[in-house]
Amino acid sequence: MLPMIDQTPGDPTPTDATSPRGRRGWLQRRAEAMLRKPGRALPKLTEPGDRQVVLQVTGASPIRVITVIRGATGLDFMSASRLAQDAPVVVVSGISAASAERVVEQLEKAGAKAVAGEPYRPQ
């Protein structure tokens, strides 16, 4: 008999028919669920204001850029990855000038090209 494993409500069940059966399938589903789990944005990167950060080019190391995007937005890995692939794109908006500069600095350290500016306001 297999030992019982404590599961939290967000854990996938081991009897899901869409993935391989058994412990290996359960571990695979658990790993996929963890990749989709949203995080929390860093407070120093999200001070409220009227600025936005536009990612223009992802650069040579997209994983590092995705990590910075996750820290600035709180998105899960898959959503941050899609956002990085869709460059040029607004990464974060509604933040202070200091926070925008910090995000741009971190993105540039990660190898991306980004700019901070005021959001577009139609006249």
Task: For residue 93, give the CATH number of its domain.
Answer: 3.30.1390.10
113 contacts 57 by C-beta, under 8 angstroms: yes
Nearest Cα neighbor of 47 from 99, 83, 93 is: 99
Angle at 90 between CA 38 and CA 110, to 5 degrees: 75
First CA to last CA across the chain, in angstroms? 69
How large is the angle between the packed helices 97-109 and 62-73, nearest 10 degrees?
160
User: Which DSSP state fits 18?
Assistant: T
Residue 16 is predicted with a pLDDT of: 45
pLDDT 10s per residue in the chain (123 long)?
A: 455 555 555 555 544 455 567 877 877 877 777 666 666 667 777 778 888 999 999 988 999 999 999 888 888 888 899 999 998 999 998 888 998 999 999 999 999 999 998 876 666
The answer to whether residue 24 sits within a structural domain is: no
Residue indicated by tokens 């391989």: 20
Specify the number of domains making up the chain. Answer: 1
The answer to whether residue 122 sits within a structural domain is: no
Residue 27 is predicted with a pLDDT of: 77
For residue 80, what are the domain limits? 43-117
The answer to whether residue 21 sits within a structural domain is: no
CA–CA separation, 3 vs 14, rounded Å? Answer: 13
Residue 36 is predicted with a pLDDT of: 64
The answer to whether residue 79 sits within a structural domain is: yes
Residue 58 is predicted with a pLDDT of: 92
Q: Using a cut of 0.85, tell me whether the model's pTM lies above it.
A: no
Query: What are the tokens at 32?
Result: 């996929």
The answer to whether residue 94 sits within a structural domain is: yes
